[in-house]
């Protein structure tokens, strides 16, 4: 019986693998990846690598074994996630895995915004499959903002979030929580609402970037239609731009990504990473 991580070479997957390898021997861990060549570093550490392409269900038949614990890291292609996730769930059920852990979105069924739709449908699919499961309902990653710091230093921070607070935490904290759940008992048929300890507004985020960079960083509160225009003008596909604006208006402004359960800190056994530390780290890179 192994711990299988799908998408193990992605942004979250790499961090989950690192966290797992700090907790269990490499021989107990499997990286299920679309391109095994990108997992050569993991193979060199003793991790088994299995092909697993969400878009090619035939590759999934050999990705899982009876008794495995599987982490399904949600696909990154908005609009295509449900059929991709369906292929994984069906393959896991056919293999007889012991438990399926899924990385969804904060709020679960109560997340009333477009980006959550595929996550909610995936959770229903997993429940209906009869698999023992754990739902990791991840809040926003701090990196969703800090990865844009070069642009923000030049043009400021734009959004349509109003006074909504964002309970973001570093991606590594969510990865650590996943590793804990994958390697310990007591999580069967449980959902965790995961978010950072200290939610912030977008204006507060801009102020922190300004403070730590020593540069002027204005916060621009835009009308939703104008924000969509800005995103499309910056090269974001129109459909995705609409989804991102919807997140600002119907998730963040509505308080649905503020979090506050404290479950992320409890799982990792420490406070979640601070905004100041995240911004400082991004500025060094």
Tokens of 115: 């980006």
Give the model's confidence band at 260: pLDDT under 50 very low, under 70 low, under 90 confident, else very high: very high
Say what percent of the chain tops pLDDT 70.
100
Q: Say yes or no to pLDDT of 10 above 90.
A: yes
**Residue 11 confidence (pLDDT):** 96
Say what percent of the chain tops pLDDT 90.
96
Residue with tokens 């949600």: 74
Interval 11-23: pLDDT, tens: 999 999 999 999 9
Residue with tokens 């895995």: 97
Tokens of 54: 């969400």
Interval 92-149: pLDDT, tens: 999 999 999 999 999 999 999 999 999 999 999 999 999 999 999 999 999 999 999 9
Longest dimension (CA), the chain: 56
From CA 269, how far away is CA 103, in angstroms rounded? 19
Tokens of 46: 């003793």
Q: Sign of the CA dihedral 279, 274, 140, 87? A: positive
**Residue 201 confidence (pLDDT):** 98
| Residues 161 and 202 sit within 8 Å (Cβ to Cβ) | yes
The rounded mean pLDDT for the chain is 96
From CA 163, how far away is CA 1, in angstroms rounded? 47
**Residue 79 confidence (pLDDT):** 83
Q: What angle do CA 134, 136, 142 make, to 5 degrees?
A: 170
Question: What backbone torsions phi and psi does residue 99 show, to the nearest 5 degrees?
Answer: -160, 145
Q: Where are the domains of the chain?
A: 3-138+171-194+260-268
Give the model's confidence band at 1: pLDDT under 50 very low, under 70 low, under 90 confident, else very high: confident
Section 152-160 average pLDDT: 97
From CA 231, how far away is CA 233, in angstroms rounded? 5
Q: What is the pTM of this model?
A: 0.96
**Residue 76 confidence (pLDDT):** 85
**Residue 99 confidence (pLDDT):** 98
**Residue 111 confidence (pLDDT):** 96
Q: Which CATH class is domain 3-138+171-194+260-268?
A: alpha beta
Q: Say yes or no to pLDDT of 6 above 90.
A: yes
From CA 207, how far away is CA 269, in angstroms rounded? 29
From CA 150, how far away is CA 56, in angstroms rounded? 37
Interval 32-44: pLDDT, tens: 999 999 999 999 9
Among candidate residues 187, 144, 165, the one with its CA nearest the CA of residue 251: 165
From CA 9, how far away is CA 15, in angstroms rounded? 9
**Residue 241 confidence (pLDDT):** 95
CB atoms within 10 A of CB 250: 17
Give the model's confidence band at 78: pLDDT under 50 very low, under 70 low, under 90 confident, else very high: confident
């Amino acid at each position: 019986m192994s711990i299988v991580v799908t998408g193990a070479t992605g942004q979250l997957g790499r961090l989950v693998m690192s966290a797992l390898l700090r907790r269990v021997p490499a021989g107990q861990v499997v990286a299920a990846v679309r391109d095994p060549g990108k997992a050569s570093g993991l193979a060199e550490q003793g991790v088994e690598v299995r092909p697993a392409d969400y878009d090619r269900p035939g590759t999934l038949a050999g990705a899982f074994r009876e008794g495995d614990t599987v982490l399904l890291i949600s696909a990154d292609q908005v609009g295509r996630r449900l059929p991709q996730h369906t292929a994984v769930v069906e393959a896991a059920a056919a293999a007889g895995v012991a438990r399926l852990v899924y990385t969804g979105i904060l709020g679960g069924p109560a997340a009333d915004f477009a980006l959550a739709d595929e996550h909610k449908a995936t959770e229903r699919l997993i429940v209906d499959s009869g698999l023992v499961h754990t739902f990791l309902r991840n809040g926003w990653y701090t990196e969703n903002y800090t990865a844009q710091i070069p642009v923000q230093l030049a043009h400021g921070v734009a959004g349509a979030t109003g006074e909504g607070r964002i309970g973001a935490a570093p991606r590594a904290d969510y990865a650590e929580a996943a590793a804990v759940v994958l390697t310990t008992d007591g999580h069967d048929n449980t959902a965790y609402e995961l978010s950072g300890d200290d939610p912030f507004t977008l204006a507060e985020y801009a102020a922190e970037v300004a403070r730590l960079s020593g540069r002027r960083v204005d916060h621009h509160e835009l009308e939703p239609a104008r924000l969509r225009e800005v995103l499309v003008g910056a090269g974001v596909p129109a459909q995705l731009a609409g989804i991102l604006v919807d997140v600002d208006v119907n998730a963040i402004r509505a308080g649905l990504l503020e979090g506050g359960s404290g479950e992320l800190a409890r799982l990792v056994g420490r406070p979640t990473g601070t905004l100041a530390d995240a911004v400082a780290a991004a500025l060094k890179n």
